[in-house]
């Protein structure tokens, strides 16, 4: 590969119209991976005394800027030590869910790469991305082990459907990359919102999120480019089917990321009434629908936002405006 100056995904974030443009975009993304990547052990300051889990433990109290548990009076009225315990569990569990989704992504991409034709720029880029995701998983596991809570991550049934990603990547790559977008967009949104805020979060969380965000920008950019390129080659019927599948995937995966499993609510004796208020109220739906701003723009750009699809987005309560540019700050973000 001919090396040019490092390029970020943002610089390469243009419309994909032709094979040449798509190849050039992937070449730029691959260059970005070669020149700017992170090490899970060197780029997180694990040995900093301030990073010890129980130093400044109040910093594990969940930030109200973007956490629906933290916004609820039930949580706010708990004693400080319980707020800290829930905060540690919540952060560790979110990272565990991220790690499980990365495993699905890696397994799918590996099988996608299995049959990529020689000469395709997808092989090199996907390989870079899998390496980065493996490093994220090492970083996530280190964080979970340091927090020291035995979190399980995804709840049923997604935990048991882990092989679906690999199947989709083999047979229906467009659906697989929708799953990728559904996994990456909400996490990216939540992490950006938190880092942009003035919340005093634990430095382990801040450092891990910063490293993750920097590389996820490339991954999201690739998933968007892939769908722009490949969906355009689908038949009208195929596109219509994809337009209905996309919001279902976004809703399903997005909520699986945001809403903790039943084990979490049982562990902390959180009443079912409170659980529903936290995650299934009209306010919560509005808040969660913001996670999909960029996904809706993508659906629109690739021709998957027809009148029937709009109804599905609406029924699933993840409809909303189309943001003017990627990751536009939200109404509740500051
Ligand atoms: Fe990642
Ligand atoms: Fe990623």
pLDDT in tens, 4-47: 333 344 444 445 568 899 999 999 999 999 998 899 999 999 99
For the range 56-60, what are the long-range contacts, defined as Cβ-Cβ under 8 Å and sequence gap of 24 or more? 56/202, 57/84, 58/84, 58/200, 59/200, 59/201, 59/202, 59/203, 60/84, 60/87, 60/88, 60/91, 60/202
CA of 222 to the centre of ligand 1 (A): 13
CA of 188 to the centre of ligand 1 (A): 9
Q: What is the pLDDT of residue 9?
A: 44
Low-confidence ranges of the chain (pLDDT < 50): 1-14, 330-334
Q: Which residues surround ligand 1, an ion (CB under 5 A)?
A: 133, 136
Query: Of the ligands numbered here, which is closest to the C-alpha atom of 95?
Result: 1
- How far apart (Å, rounded) are the C-alpha atoms in residues 26 and 82? 47
Q: What is the pLDDT of residue 2?
A: 34
Residue whose pair of structure tokens reads 């900093």 in the numeric block: 48
Cβ atoms 23, 121 nearer than 8 A: yes
Q: What is the pLDDT of residue 151?
A: 93
CA of 216 to the centre of ligand 1 (A): 6
Q: What is the pLDDT of residue 275?
A: 95
Q: What is the pLDDT of residue 148?
A: 95
Query: Of the ligands numbered here, which is closest to the C-alpha atom of 223?
Result: 2
CA of 58 to the centre of ligand 2 (A): 30
CA of 102 to the centre of ligand 1 (A): 6
CA of 305 to the centre of ligand 2 (A): 25
CA of 191 to the centre of ligand 1 (A): 12
Question: Taking the C-alpha atoms of 43, 45, 51 and 53 in order, what is their torsion angle to the nearest 10 degrees?
Answer: 50
DSSP designation for 325:
S
CA of 219 to the centre of ligand 2 (A): 5
Nearest Cα to Cα of residue 250 among 223, 277, 283, 212: 223
């Amino acid at each position: 590969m001919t090396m040019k100056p490092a390029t970020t995904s943002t610089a390469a974030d243009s419309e994909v119209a032709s094979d040449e443009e798509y190849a050039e975009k992937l070449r730029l993304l691959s260059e970005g991976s070669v020149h700017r990547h992170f090490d899970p052990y060197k780029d997180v300051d694990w040995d900093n005394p301030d990073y010890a889990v129980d130093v400044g433990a109040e910093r594990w109290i969940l930030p109200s800027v973007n956490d629906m548990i933290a916004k609820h009076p039930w949580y706010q009225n708990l004693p400080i030590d319980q707020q800290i315990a829930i905060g540690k569990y919540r952060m560790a569990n979110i990272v565990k869910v991220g790690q499980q989704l990365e495993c699905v992504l890696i397994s799918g991409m590996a099988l996608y790469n299995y049959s990529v034709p020689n000469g395709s720029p997808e092989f090199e880029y996907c390989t870079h991305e899998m390496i980065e995701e493996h490093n994220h998983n090492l970083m996530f596991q280190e964080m979970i082990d340091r927090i020291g809570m035995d979190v399980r991550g995804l709840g049923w049934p997604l935990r048991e459907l882990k092989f679906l990603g690999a199947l989709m990547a083999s047979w229906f790559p467009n659906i697989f990359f929708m799953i990728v977008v559904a996994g990456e967009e909400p996490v990216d949104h939540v992490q950006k919102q938190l880092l942009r805020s003035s919340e005093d979060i634990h430095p382990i969380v801040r450092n891990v999120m910063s490293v993750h965000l920097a590389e996820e920008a490339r991954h999201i950019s690739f998933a968007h480019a892939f769908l722009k390129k490949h969906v355009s080659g689908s038949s009208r019927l195929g596109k219509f089917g994809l337009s209905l599948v996309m919001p279902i995937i976004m809703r399903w995966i997005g909520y699986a990321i945001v809403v903790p499993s039943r084990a979490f609510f049982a562990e902390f004796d959180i009443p079912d009434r409170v659980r529903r208020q936290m995650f299934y109220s009209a306010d919560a739906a509005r808040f969660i629908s913001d996670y999909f701003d960029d996904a809706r723009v993508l659906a629109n750009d690739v021709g998957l936002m027809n009148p029937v699809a709009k109804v599905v987005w609406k029924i699933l309560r993840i409809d909303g405006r189309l943001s003017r540019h990627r990751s536009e700050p939200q109404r509740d973000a500051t």
